[in-house]
């Protein structure tokens, strides 16, 4: 017999276990229905939340004072693997021999692609389906005499979250010394998003020019205006705690954001660059001038030194594409990604389509101006390819901006044609 106290103890243990199991099931089911996860993925997600699971979040990027962020070698982002040298290879498995970035042989024809997550290839099934992977295969299959006896290397230097300012810094810090034969920029969306929406999430009145989400995060941490973080769950009653946390988080998050935003405003208002940025935005609401200056800096380098330079204004699913195939597949591209809808940030989805299109119209003007300004340089071209998917009926977008393998291949084919034409023109 257990005795009275033993029975109480058993009942308590069974009650805690039942409560924990019920909360675990509820959290998993909610994740399946709200985040489009499979049951297995949802279960694994919540198992990893337990302090005794032994799992630690794998961060794929790290702060760099020169480029703001760099990829961490050996990590993985949504199925894409970062190689041992800190960029995305073009094969499913990491090749046994990676490019020698320091000693470039005379037979190497090196192309470097700069951009954000679209250039990197996020949401593709593997590294072999990115723009860079397709481009490398297309050029290797090319029968053009222009690249005969050359070993083609297409280096995928896309980094999720990067935009034109990051890429300008990264080019001068990390890419120029690699002696690329061709440098390619693939841009537009991140510049547009940061120039229109990041300040809502940060709780400040106006976005800061040439700043991304991680720029704000770093600035906030360095200046004691840190951001809201969920407290860690205890090892006992973990899932009951996590359930209660999710249920009451809206109220808690609003209170935390209000307190932190008051501290942020005083810190931001004291910074001269931020004040200049806010004043400049009244004249240039999309920060077109910043995008133009960033890309112009890279182009100016190529106008003085060797190498070809191509910059592309990327397409979006918001226009110039019959998106019936995307809609049929459940792609929701008419809302802002990553928007925490609270009383503080507000619902910015109503502005999303209007502001992104407005920014892309503005950037198209910048690309046209840059192409005219560098017209005397036969090795430099700027292309607006927003309409590239206009005749395409098949699905190419996986979400608000990222492409599937077909979309990446179409972009790569366009780039290959431009590259061969530019090489012929400069020979």
94-130: pLDDT as tens digits: 888 899 998 999 999 999 999 999 999 999 999 999 9
- Per-residue pLDDT at 413: 98
Backbone dihedral region of 115: left (phi > 0), alpha (psi from -120 to 50 degrees) or beta? left
Write out pLDDT tens, residues 292-305. 999 999 999 999 98
In a domain, 354, yes or no: yes
Co-location of 297 and 385 in the same domain: yes
Task: For residue 408, give the nearest of 315, 336, 337 by alpha carbon.
Answer: 315
In a domain, 357, yes or no: yes
Instruction: Flag whether pLDDT at 220 surpasses 90.
Output: no
Instruction: Flag whether pLDDT at 290 surpasses 60.
Output: yes
Co-location of 109 and 175 in the same domain: yes
Co-location of 169 and 287 in the same domain: yes
Q: Which of 241-245, 251-255, 271-275, 294-298 is the least confident region?
A: 251-255
Q: What is the mean pLDDT of the chain?
A: 87
Task: For residue 61, give the nearest of 239, 213, 278 by alpha carbon.
Answer: 213
In a domain, 113, yes or no: yes
Grade residue 1 by pLDDT with cuts at 50, 70 and 90: low
- For residue 65, what is the domain's CATH number? 3.40.50.1110
Question: Which residue pairs from 30-33 have beta carbons closer than 8 angstroms and sit at least 24 positions apart in sequence?
Answer: 30/246
Question: Which residues partner with 115 through β-bridges?
Answer: 186
User: What is the Cα–Cα distance from 298 to 184, expressed in whole angstroms?
Assistant: 10
Structure tokens at 355: 């502001």
Instruction: Flag whether pLDDT at 376 surpasses 80.
Output: yes
- Per-residue pLDDT at 338: 53
Instruction: Flag whether pLDDT at 311 surpasses 80.
Output: yes
- Per-residue pLDDT at 63: 86
In a domain, 221, yes or no: no
Co-location of 362 and 392 in the same domain: yes
Co-location of 298 and 161 in the same domain: yes
Co-location of 161 and 309 in the same domain: yes
Co-location of 12 and 149 in the same domain: no
Q: Which of 42-51, 185-194, 319-328 has the highest mean pLDDT?
A: 185-194
Grade residue 56 by pLDDT with cuts at 50, 70 and 90: low
Co-location of 75 and 145 in the same domain: yes
Grade residue 231 by pLDDT with cuts at 50, 70 and 90: confident
Q: Which of 29-38, 42-51, 132-141 is the least confident region?
A: 29-38
Co-location of 15 and 127 in the same domain: no
Instruction: Flag whether pLDDT at 307 surpasses 50.
Output: yes
Domain residue limits at 377 = 61-196+281-426
- Per-residue pLDDT at 62: 85
In a domain, 236, yes or no: no
Instruction: Flag whether pLDDT at 58 surpasses 80.
Output: no
In a domain, 151, yes or no: yes
Instruction: Flag whether pLDDT at 85 surpasses 80.
Output: yes
Mean pLDDT of 149-175: 95
Mean pLDDT of 2-26: 84
Grade residue 148 by pLDDT with cuts at 50, 70 and 90: confident
Grade residue 343 by pLDDT with cuts at 50, 70 and 90: very low
Write out pLDDT tens, residues 165-216. 999 999 999 999 999 999 999 999 999 999 988 888 777 888 999 999 889 8
- Per-residue pLDDT at 149: 87
In a domain, 367, yes or no: yes
Co-location of 31 and 75 in the same domain: no
- Per-residue pLDDT at 116: 96
Co-location of 11 and 120 in the same domain: no
The number of domains in the chain is 2
Co-location of 78 and 178 in the same domain: yes
Structure tokens at 11: 């009942």
Contact 377, 422 (CB under 8 A): no
The pTM for the full model equals: 0.83
Pick the more confident residue, 251 or 321.
Answer: 321
Q: Which of 22-36, 174-188, 379-393 is the least confident region?
A: 22-36
The vertex-153 CA angle with 133 and 293, nearest 5°, equals: 85
CA distances from residue 215 to 63, 198, 219, 359 in whole angstroms, order as listed: 9, 11, 6, 21
In a domain, 239, yes or no: no
- Per-residue pLDDT at 33: 79
Instruction: Flag whether pLDDT at 334 surpasses 80.
Output: no
């Amino acid at each position: 017999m257990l005795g009275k106290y033993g029975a109480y103890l058993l009942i308590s243990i069974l009650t805690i276990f039942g409560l924990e199991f019920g909360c675990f099931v509820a959290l998993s089911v909610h994740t399946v229905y709200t985040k489009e996860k499979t049951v297995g993925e949802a279960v694994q997600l919540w198992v990893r939340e337990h302090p005794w699971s032994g799992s630690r979040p794998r961060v794929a990027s790290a702060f760099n004072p020169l480029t703001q962020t760099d990829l961490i070698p050996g990590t993985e982002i949504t199925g894409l693997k970062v190689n041992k040298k800190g960029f995305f290879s073009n094969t499913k498995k990491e090749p046994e021999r990676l490019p020698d970035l320091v000693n470039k042989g005379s037979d190497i024809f090196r192309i470097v692609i700069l951009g954000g997550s679209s250039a990197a290839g996020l949401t593709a099934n593997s590294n072999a389906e990115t723009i860079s992977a397709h481009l490398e295969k297309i050029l290797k299959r090319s029968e053009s005499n222009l690249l005969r006896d050359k070993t083609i290397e297409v280096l995928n230097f896309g980094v999720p979250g990067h935009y034109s300012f990051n890429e300008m810094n990264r080019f001068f810090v990390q890419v120029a010394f690699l002696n690329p034969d061709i440098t390619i920029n693939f841009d537009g969306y991140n510049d547009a998003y940061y120039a229109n929406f990041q300040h809502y999430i940060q709780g400040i009145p106006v976005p800061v020019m040439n700043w991304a989400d991680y720029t704000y995060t770093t600035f906030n941490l360095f200046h004691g205006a840190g951001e809201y973080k969920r407290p860690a769950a205890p090892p006992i009653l973990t899932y009951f705690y996590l359930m209660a946390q999710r249920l009451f988080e809206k109220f808690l998050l609003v209170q935390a954001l209000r307190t932190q935003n008051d501290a942020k405003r005083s810190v931001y208002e004291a910074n001269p660059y931020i004040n200049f940025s806010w004043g400049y935005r009244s004249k240039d609401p999309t920060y077109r001038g910043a995008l133009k200056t960033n890309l112009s800096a890279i182009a100016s380098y190529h106008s003085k030194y060797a190498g070809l330079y191509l910059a592309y204004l990327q397409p979006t699913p918001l226009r110039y594409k019959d998106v019936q195939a995307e809609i049929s597949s459940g792609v929701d591209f008419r809302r802002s990604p990553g928007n925490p809808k609270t009383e503080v940030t507000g619902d910015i989805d109503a502005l999303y389509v209007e502001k992104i299109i407005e920014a892309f119209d503005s950037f198209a003007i910048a690309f046209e101006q840059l192409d005219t300004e560098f017209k005397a340089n036969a090795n430099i071209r700027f292309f607006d390819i927003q309409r590239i998917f206009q005749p395409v009926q098949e699905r190419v977008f996986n979400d608000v901006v990222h492409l599937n393998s077909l979309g990446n291949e179409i972009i790569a084919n366009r780039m290959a044609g431009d590259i061969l034409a530019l090489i012929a023109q400069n020979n």
